[in-house]
Amino acid sequence: MQTNPPAASDGTDGEGPAAAAARLTGRAVTGERRLSGALTEVTLDDGLTVMVKRGDGPGSVRAEAAGLRWLAAAGTVRLPALHGDDEHWLVVDLVPRGRPTARAAGRFGRDLAALHAAGAPAFGAPPPGGPVDAYIGRAPMRNVPGGDWPRWYAEHRVLPYLRRAVDAGTVQPAEAADVERICERLPGLAGPAEPPARLHGDLWNGNVLWGGDGQVRLIDPAAHGGHRETDLAMLHLFGCPHLEAVLDGYQQVAPLAEGWAGRVGLHQLFPLLVHAVLFGRGYAEQALTAARSALSV
């Protein structure tokens, strides 16, 4: 029996996060602390504290839960344990925070390399049980399989967000031409062919949690089959503590192809255009700068 009443409904499905946690875990709730409109810390009657997340849109929770399971199945990077999910709610372990260290960063790099090497059936392949219509953050993202990375990346990662940014007036049609030229030249800019990697898919610093036990855990995946350099480019884009140690650890396990550093901007086009769609002109300008830089190579 709950000793505290659940929070009022968030308007999504008629129940609040505490009630959802109780239903999905089968445990009574003894406390809760709302962190944001989507996140709530909930304490269960056995003393375990979990994070309860409300989905951003249709299929978002199913996509995230499938991604967590798929990444965890590789047995490499660490993720919070998944305690339950449905169409509206996700319940996972709360990760006690610690300080970033070079040692933890090196281990994370090695684990990330092993995760990527676990592979995927195709570029764009969704996690088993995950929907084609998924999300990256709050932006819709379609997981449509393809066998050729440059063509797939252009058609399903760069151009859809470029079109949305143009339609919204965030990018002008004349500016979009630079990104379109990059897409045309991708086969010659992409570097050596690589097999599909098992990607986290939204690997910015906010989704890299430095645990109090000295180990890194990843949250909020937009998992799919992709190019491994895309995950690394996102770590570069928004910064990551001890990034050089992460990269050193990665290269110990799976050396990157020659010229990878020069392709970082190419792989950043996707997240930058997503952010342009969500947050406006500042990110559009960064995307255009990245495109023009790649065109000058």
What's the whole-number mean pLDDT along residues 150-173?
A: 97
Task: Kindly indicate the confidence band of residue 238, based on its pLDDT and cuts at 50, 70 and 90.
Answer: confident
> Contact at 8 Å (CB) between 222 and 134?
yes
Q: What is the pLDDT of residue 13?
A: 52
pLDDT digits (tens, 9 = 90+) for 90-107: 999 999 999 999 999 999
65: CB partners within 8 A, 6+ apart: 82, 85, 90
How far is residue 265's CA from residue 33's CA, in Å, rounded to a whole number?
Answer: 39
Fold of 17-93: Phosphorylase Kinase; domain 1 (3.30.200)
pLDDT digits (tens, 9 = 90+) for 48-86: 999 999 998 788 999 999 999 999 999 999 999 999 999
Please state, as a whole number, how many other Cβ atoms lie within 10 Å of the Cβ of residue 154.
23
**What residue ranges of the chain are covered by domains with CATH 3.90.1200.10?**
102-295
pLDDT digits (tens, 9 = 90+) for 2-44: 333 334 344 445 689 999 999 999 999 999 999 998 999 999 9
- May I ask the CATH class of domain 102-295? alpha beta
Average pLDDT along the chain: 93
How far is residue 24's CA from residue 20's CA, in Å, rounded to a whole number?
Answer: 6
pLDDT digits (tens, 9 = 90+) for 204-237: 999 999 999 999 999 999 999 999 999 999 999 9
296: CB partners within 8 A, 6+ apart: none
3-state secondary structure of 204: coil
**What residue ranges of the chain are covered by domains with CATH 3.30.200.20?**
17-93
Helices (H), 137-263: 149-153, 159-167, 173-189, 228-238, 243-253
